[in-house]
Structure 1
């Protein structure tokens, strides 16, 4: 796959600049998009959506997870615009409409999570700071939450607050299984097999059925997201490579280090999904108990993709965001954050 998005067949969806829309997933009004070249020549596809509501509240960097793309977050971008936020969303290297990392474009690969951190830093320097209104906030999901924590020392003087949704801070496996996965993936990477699929995760262009999915209980949003990839399959991704899994586990170990946690000074709201079976909610809770600048909220019954969940769960997350981010009308969570505070919603 090349560095630009393949427009595909027009009959399967409409394209505006580098973004795609369907009848059920419209590009938010006031959105522009482009490609930003990184230091190593890779290109990231980005979208900037201007605030639609007043008063103006600043800019939110919306950082999605593995195997996601900008189009999946049009609804959330429009929600943020209506709240008075300019929103910046981009596809991580190796997925969506950004440059892919290996010959088989559908393999989810990265050499190290620090590459994601470097990309975020450059995007902040080259796009956000020059073109977007302060103050700056982060709203991040899953692997995007892990990258946000890794980048927190670099973001300390730039970002006012972060909201991390079901961050990737552990896998729902036993400690023995995690040790085995860590050893095997690290060993395979060292002997040159890091670009192989870690599991049998080849890309399925038609998507998987709603029944039994681990991501959301909302059939309409699930089918809307599946339609994006049916119409534009080049935006999709298969399973992670051995090296990606190894890099993710190293990054998780790093952010769990007590010294690293102590160095994170950005006030952070962590929102866990009570019915999450993709990432480990207990690992998120353990992290939160040691994070003096963090507060944990658990939304009981929600699956992993809370921003793609049914309204009952999704609106709880948005209400928590409104309460935590300064400038909202809800003051409940804007007071000083107490260490290891946990709230059940």
Structure 2
């Protein structure tokens, strides 16, 4: 049964010693999850791993193996509307969310229904991109549940698009307000070329991800909808307000690739200046998907995460 839930592809085997299944998210949505156990007899705790847009559990198999080898358990789930989780529209490849707070509610239910009863204390949080935005947005409420969190390229700014962000905001808002929030905006970039891609400079990991998309297309989605952009663009300025950041007491590590053009380094640096609970780790030369980058960059991120999540002496 487990083998049908998680999918191995060439060069990307399913990590051993795990359980997988589904839990009930907000508004009764069926969300796919997995818990990966460390082979070490005494676990250092559990890392709750949150994905970015259009990602899935399979994309993180290598990172999960690295974390469990260091003595951590890893608990993760596919964000609503993508991966192996229930879709939200009849058009199955549309990137959609009704309210950004739905992501927050799913995370809370995952912690309550799966992590707390089935995983090992203490609990840490590792989030990438849109997962990082969700973590930031609910961080004030995590102080009694999460010991520390590491955010890789949190999606706090949208830049580098062919259309200026203010124009994207206007278009997304207008379509949403007239009931056309399900309209997809932008290009379907599931099968982009390696040359000039903004995600990673590692050709092998890029090819592995492309193979996963080709072999398991049902796990991936296309362009975001107007409603998704409307919700995300309204959340971004809210989470970086000083008023919000001062409410966050969970010690936080900001992992910021300097060559990131999706969530630019300048925005991460600005966030760190206003975020007292956070410390910034720049990774010079790396692109957006830091945990899928070349070893020279990826190893820096993993070492920083390992040191930051180390139990207090």
**Structure 2 length as normaliser, TM-score?**
0.96
Do the aligned residues in 1 keep the contact of 2:258 with 2:264 (CA within 8 Å)? no
Q: CA deviation at 1:289?
A: 0.4
Q: How does 1:13-24 map to 2 (within 5 A)?
A: 16-24=3-11
Match of 2:180 in 1: 193
Of 246, 255, 258, which aligns to 1:262?
Answer: 246
Q: How does 1:188-337 map to 2 (within 5 A)?
A: 188-201=175-188, 204=190, 207-327=191-311
Q: CA deviation at 1:173?
A: 4.7
Q: Are the aligned partners of 2:124 and 2:148 in contact in 1 as well (CA < 8 Å)?
A: yes
Please tell me whether the aligned partners of residues 52 and 83 of structure 1 are also in contact (alpha carbons under 8 angstroms). Answer: no
> Structure 1: any 5+ residue segments left out of the alignment?
1-6, 8-14, 332-345
| Corresponding residue of 1:127 | 114
Secondary structure of the 2:200 match is: coil
- Tell me, yes or no, if the aligned pair for 1:196 and 1:241 is still in contact at 8 Å: yes
Matches within 5 A, 1:94-173: 94-173=81-160
Distance, in Å, in 1 between the alignment partners of 2:286 and 2:175 is 35
Checking the alignment, whether the CA contact within 8 Å between 2:26 and 2:102 is kept in structure 1 is no
Q: 1:56-67 maps to which residues of 2 (within 5 A)?
A: 56-67=43-54
Describe the SS at the equivalent of 1:269. Answer: strand
1:69-108 aligned at under 5 Å gives the runs 69-108=56-95
Deviation at 1:109, TM superposition (A): 0.4
Aligned residues: 312
Query: Displacement of 1:212 after TM fit?
Result: 1.9
Q: In the TM superposition, what is the alpha-carbon distance from 1:46 to its structure 2 partner?
A: 0.4
- Cα deviation for residue 54 of structure 1 reads 5.2
Q: Which segments of structure 1 move beyond 3 Å, counting only runs of 4 or more?
A: none
Q: Check the 8 A contact 1:197/1:239 in 2, yes or no.
A: yes
Q: Which residue of 2 aligns with 1:339?
A: none
Contact 2:254–2:280 (CA under 8 A) maintained in structure 1: yes
CA offset digits 1:257-306 (Å, max 9, x no partner) = 21111101100000101111111221111111000000011101101001
Deviation at 1:209, TM superposition (A): 2.3
Contact 1:17 1:33 survives alignment (8 Å): no
Alpha-carbon distance in 2 for matches of 1:104, 1:295? 41
**Aligned partners of 2:26 and 2:170: how far apart in 1?**
31
The answer on whether the counterparts of 1:169 and 1:283 sit within 8 Å (CA) in structure 2 is yes
Q: Retained in 2: the 8 A contact 1:54–1:83?
A: no
Q: Which whole-Å CA distance do the structure 2 matches of 1:195 and 1:148 have between them? A: 25
SS at match of 2:27: coil
CA distance in 1, matches of 2:271, 2:41: 36
Deviation at 1:225, TM superposition (A): 1.0
Instruction: List gaps (5 residues or longer) in structure 2.
Output: none
The answer for the alignment partner of 2:39 in structure 1 is: 52
TM-score, scaled relative to structure 1? 0.87
RMSD of equivalent CA atoms:
1.8
